[in-house]
Amino acid sequence: MIKPITSFAFGLFLVITYACKKTHEPTNIGKKISLSFPDYFPRNYTIPENNILTDNRVALGKMLFFDKNLSKDKTVSCASCHSPETAFSDAEKTLSDGVQGGKTTRNTPMIFNAVYQNSFFLDGRAKSLEAQALGPLTHPKEMGMTEEEIIQVVKSNPEYEKRFKECYGEVNIKNICAAIASFERTIISTSSPFDRDMQGDTTALTPTQKRGRALFFSFKIGCQKCHNGHNLTNREFMNIGLDENYKDNGLYDITKKEDDKGKFITPSLRNVALTPPYMHDGRFKTLEEVIDFYATGGKDHPNKAGQMNSFTLTPAQKSDLVAFLHSLTDDQFKPKK
């Protein structure tokens, strides 16, 4: 016969339950941060309700972002591939260095204004910054850790233990990724000459850049068909005819749909002059090479985007277009001399 629970035992149960719950509640998440954007930026970015952006959470995420102890051989951090010294990219490297001599499988993408994105990685396999943060940490060729190893490293650091108790209540993989995502949401680029021009400064662009801008947004070459809006990207998956047969099939590897073969997310062009090489495999070393490729209209592929059309530019026009692309450079992210 099951004995009824006594009032004392029930009361003790409630106390223990409340105490356990209490220890997992954050004690000091800090001050809420409001992101600031120019008027012509939309306000449709989303910050998850369960990961409110605060100064303490951002500070914790920044620590994790730069911590090489979160990699298998303690040689790689998030910042190794997304270095602030090279505009949060791995400039000049076709593929980035991972743990134990490994290499990333794709060129490192930019992370500016990621707060506006709703899919991450060049194949869009992650649907939130929190999900994206876990990818490099556990990828065998990048940081090479297991979730259990990551948690152990963080828990072994008293400073982390203290900060996680304050910001999230406890150390677990969900909260570790949430902290990193909080920091990444604050990597904002809105102060290029192009931005100043958009806000009415008629002197922000040089005459050469203005001619290049006219070309960029013209129907002659049609860059704006894919690179438009405040971040100069439609955020759609496109096959631009890089190859007739792709070694890396991009979105297809996620969806297994034939129509998705060779499709990759259209990248933002913000700070593009600071982040060579270009394309998912880093095949083009300069902006001039990229323009030369687009001028061909791309190679034949059944999935090639209809926006891809060949065009011809004079040397002077190509120079103007490159100059405009340099106007997308935010001075705060230029390499320090």
Mean pLDDT of 2-17: 48
CA atoms of 20 and 309, how far apart (whole Å): 63
Domain 10-184: CATH class, spelled out = mainly alpha
Please give the pLDDT value at position 46.
86
Q: What is the mean pLDDT of the chain?
A: 93
The identity of residue 222, as a single letter, is G
- pLDDT tens digits along 189-247: 999 999 999 999 999 999 999 999 999 999 989 999 999 999 999 999 999 999 999 99
The stretches of the chain forming alpha helices (DSSP H) are: 7-23, 55-65, 78-81, 129-138, 147-155, 158-167, 173-184, 193-198, 207-216, 252-255, 287-296, 315-326
CA atoms of 237 and 255, how far apart (whole Å): 12
In sequence order, the 6+-apart residues with CB closer than 8 A to the CB of 141 are: 98, 99, 102, 103, 104, 105
The answer to whether domain 10-184 and domain 193-333 are alike in fold is yes
- pLDDT tens digits along 154-198: 999 999 999 999 999 999 999 999 999 999 999 999 999 999 999
Please give the pLDDT value at position 262.
98
Mean pLDDT of 41-46: 92
Contact between residue 179 and residue 318 where contact means Cβ atoms under 8 Å apart: no
What does pTM read for this prediction?
0.91
Please give the pLDDT value at position 91.
80
CA atoms of 231 and 114, how far apart (whole Å): 10
Please give the pLDDT value at position 214.
97
User: 32 has which bridge partners?
Assistant: 54
- pLDDT tens digits along 78-129: 999 999 988 999 888 999 999 999 999 999 998 999 999 999 999 999 999 9
**Percent of the chain's residues with pLDDT above 90:** 88
| pLDDT exceeds 90 at position 59 | yes
Please give the pLDDT value at position 21.
47
Which element (helix H / strand E) includes 237? strand 237-238
Output the DSSP codes for 34-50: -----TTS-S-----GG
| pLDDT exceeds 70 at position 3 | no
Burial class (CB in 10 A: 0-12, 13-18, 19+), 24: exposed
Q: How confident is the model at residue 336 (pLDDT cuts 50, 70, 90)?
A: confident
Contact between residue 299 and residue 242 where contact means Cβ atoms under 8 Å apart: yes
Contact between residue 76 and residue 84 where contact means Cβ atoms under 8 Å apart: no
| pLDDT exceeds 50 at position 259 | yes
Please give the pLDDT value at position 14.
46
Please give the pLDDT value at position 337.
63
Please give the pLDDT value at position 24.
83
| pLDDT exceeds 80 at position 23 | no
Residue 238 carries which DSSP code?
E
- Name the more confident of 4 and 89: 89
CATH code for residues 193-333: 1.10.760.10
> Which residue in 149, 155, 125 sits closest to 137, CA to CA?
149
Vertex 57 angle, CA 62 and 32, to 5°: 130
Contact between residue 204 and residue 196 where contact means Cβ atoms under 8 Å apart: yes
CA atoms of 35 and 187, how far apart (whole Å): 10
Half-sphere exposure of 261 (CA within 13 A, CB side): 11
Which element (helix H / strand E) includes 265? strand 264-265
Please give the pLDDT value at position 12.
47
- pLDDT tens digits along 114-125: 999 999 999 999
| pLDDT exceeds 80 at position 16 | no
- Residue extents of the structural domains in the chain: 10-184, 193-333
The identity of residue 201, as a single letter, is D
